[in-house]
Amino acid sequence: MAGLFITFEGIDGSGKSTQARLLAERLTQDGHDVVLTREPGGSPGAEEIRRLLVEGEPGRWSAITEILLFNAARRDHLERVIAPALAAGQVVVCDRFADSTRVYQASLHPELVGLVNDIHAKAIGREPDLTILIDMDPDVALARGLARKSGEDRFELKGAQFQTRLRDGFMELAKVNSGRFRVIDGNHSLEIVASRVLTKVRPWLL
């Protein structure tokens, strides 16, 4: 039995990580076998690469080096966690996947979009079945992200203008890939957003 691959996307501070966790908890309560994971990370090797990507100075890596690091982490995550879980018929709920790399790199280095897509096609070759995009006001999301003081704020440090470009990029990607994207307004309470997410996910579980 094939599993179901659900990803959550959105700008930093949009609440997507919380909503991914709430969905995984609800589906587990409903009797589904769920794997909750994240990117970059999700497997031991990918978590080591995560620290290289999300910590440190904003300009720590060149653009191409960063793309290669993200895809190295994603390949290990896919091999060790995502693909085995789907083969076992589980529901995989993942906080970020390849769409984040597409949007972040397109916002920073539009000339490298072709490279991002080529590497994904050759090294990853897998898209989610369903992607939930939590849409959030960029200024509100940035304030949330910086307030966390998690030490993983390398991208938040790029500022409000960058967050706005990211939001625009995610919305455009959702429009182009409307078959698998579902956009949820994140400017509401956790409970309202979670309820709307569940409504979008349930048809895929039938």
pLDDT of residue 1: 56
Please identify which residue in the block is written with the tokens 């709307």: 196
CA distances from 156 to 59, 62, 104, 200 (A): 12, 18, 12, 29
DSSP state of 14: S
Residues sharing a CB contact under 8 Å with residue 192, sequence separation 6 or more, in sequence order = none
pLDDT of residue 163: 87
Read off the pLDDT of residues 124-153 as tens digits, 9 standing for 90 and up.
Answer: 999 999 999 999 998 887 776 555 655 545
Q: Which backbone phi and psi does 63 adopt, to 5 degrees?
A: -60, -45
> What single letter denotes the amino acid at residue 106?
A
Domain ranges, residue 105: 4-205
pLDDT of residue 55: 81
Domain count, the chain: 1
CATH at residue 172: 3.40.50.300
